[in-house]
Amino acid sequence: MLAKRVVIVGGGISGLAAAHRLVELGLDKSQLTLIEASDRLGGTLQTHARDGFLLERGPDSFISEKPEAVSLAKRLGLESRLIQTNEQYRRSFIVRNGRLRPVPEGFQLLAPSRVWPFINTDIFSLASKLRMAGDLLLPRRRSNGNEDESLASFVRRRLGQEALERMAQPMVGGIYTADPETLSLRATLPRFLDMEREHRSLILAMMRQGQNKGTSGARYTLFLSFDRGMEVLVNALTGLVPNVRLNTRIQEVHFESGNWILKSKSGLTFEADAVCLAVPAYVAASLLRDVDEGLATKLNAIKYASTATINLAYPRAAIKHPLNGFGFVVPFIEKRSLLACTFSNVKFAGRAPEDHVLLRAFAGGALQPDVFALDESTLVTRIESDLRELLNVDRSSLFTEVAKWERSMPQYEVGHLERVQVIENEIRVLKGLALAGNAYRGAGIPDCIRSGEAAAESLITSAA
């Protein structure tokens, strides 16, 4: 067993994954302390049962294409509790002129892979369709896909302005809540840069990939959750970490005589041989300012956006829309308060009682900080107004629950991967220190788990 004192600061999924991995690698549990500023573990992974509804206040699922979350669930004995999306309604919608239009079959975030669904859709004007078809003839970028580029620049160049406004911005914005003018394509959707480099045309690349795989379009089968929500994973991990300090906010971190000294706001002191900061980059920056001011400055340069999740419950009869999909996204140019909305009980089983509907609306993000800043009552009023018009809702919700996540979504701006590489190089010089979280190399749940586990492995390696 490894005789090494380790302190993890931050009890979100990244910190929990780091703690679990350290125990797997042989660290004595008595040597491990997990410190969390709030009164619970799990961060944004919060599931709440109410009146027969199962509400997710944060993420409601993860993708299986990145294996870390599935692998962790299996190691925790949770494989039997994994559930897939509803097979019957695996499609989504985009709002245009106040109406929900189905995303064409074969359309993957930026470009089509099937001809006729693209031709027949009314999401794009005829002029835009012709401009998008021009991708078939356009040459590669001179840099041949090796340089970073913003999402907006890339989509305008390959597919045109309307493709950006009507499809790319809302679809990608629903994932990263980001400004497409600054969002790094290399850090978020590198496969599209690779498609241009390898195939020249995005549309040709997607058609070829669809033929090779025998399928095309949005891969809804990749989305997984747990039978009783995402907090199933949090609860399983929590039971494996015995030494947890909740309601403890670390305010200072120092490195003295080969030891890490952590001081809490309330005056508690913790000593460790190794520390994992599984917190937002700006929090890590404030803690490391006395250790390495240059590193702290670089961490502080990673920007964040704030988002809100609004759960709304209705009787099924109150909504005239057929809800024959998983939800919809809203382009910024539609000038709505909504970013997106998930039909929760359609997407996953067990989310609402029979003859009822649970909706999850999203607001805020990099493009609409003013909406996030609204008080909860005003925010709910604005969201319900949008839903009444878009889904033909004829009565008030049974209840609503709002979760506000301030500065929760890191913004992967152009050049992000290079900035992260510099940060990682500087961290390696500081013995016994690791960073984890969604600020660095991926914002999804599998990415956070990978980040936490990699941090744990680096600390164990440094002790060898």
- The mean of the pLDDT values for the chain is 93
- Residue 187 within a domain: yes
Band of residue 212 on the pLDDT scale cut at 50, 70, 90: low
CATH of the domain at 178: 1.10.3110.10
pLDDT value for 393: 98
Q: Report the distance separating Cα 55 and Cα 448, nearest Å.
A: 22
| Residue-range definition of the domain harbouring residue 390 | 61-89+304-410
- Residue 394 within a domain: yes
Q: Report the distance separating Cα 110 and Cα 218, nearest Å.
A: 11
- Residue 147 within a domain: yes
Asked if the model's pLDDT at residue 430 lies above 90, the reply is yes
Q: How many independent structural domains does the chain possess?
A: 3
pLDDT value for 439: 98
- Residue 219 within a domain: no
Q: Report the distance separating Cα 167 and Cα 295, nearest Å.
A: 37
Same domain membership, residue 175 and residue 127: yes
* Selection from 430, 385, 110 nearest residue 276 by Cα: 430
pLDDT value for 220: 45
pLDDT value for 419: 96
Band of residue 392 on the pLDDT scale cut at 50, 70, 90: very high
Q: Which residues contact 374 (CB under 8 A, 6 or more apart)?
A: 382
Same domain membership, residue 328 and residue 186: no
pLDDT value for 215: 40
What Å distances lie between residue 249 and 43, 245, 265, 403, 436, CA to CA? 14, 9, 6, 21, 17
Asked if the model's pLDDT at residue 202 lies above 70, the reply is yes
Band of residue 1 on the pLDDT scale cut at 50, 70, 90: very low
Cβ 325 vs Cβ 91: under 8 Å: yes
Same domain membership, residue 195 and residue 114: yes
- Residue 226 within a domain: no
Strands 93-96 and 327-329: parallel
Same domain membership, residue 313 and residue 297: no
Same domain membership, residue 187 and residue 162: yes
Q: Which residues contact 132 (CB under 8 A, 6 or more apart)?
A: 111, 112, 118, 124, 159, 160, 163, 203
CATH of the domain at 358: 3.90.660.20
Same domain membership, residue 351 and residue 286: no
Same domain membership, residue 160 and residue 308: no
Task: Please list the alpha-helical segments (H only) found in 121-224.
Answer: 126-133, 151-158, 161-163, 169-176, 185-188, 190-199, 202-213
- Residue 429 within a domain: yes
Same domain membership, residue 144 and residue 287: no
Asked if the model's pLDDT at residue 113 lies above 90, the reply is no
pLDDT value for 216: 37
Band of residue 68 on the pLDDT scale cut at 50, 70, 90: very high
For CA atoms 406, 401, 247, 5, the dihedral sign is negative
Same domain membership, residue 239 and residue 166: no
Same domain membership, residue 395 and residue 417: no
pLDDT value for 222: 82
pLDDT digits (tens, 9 = 90+) for 146-168: 689 999 999 999 999 999 999 99
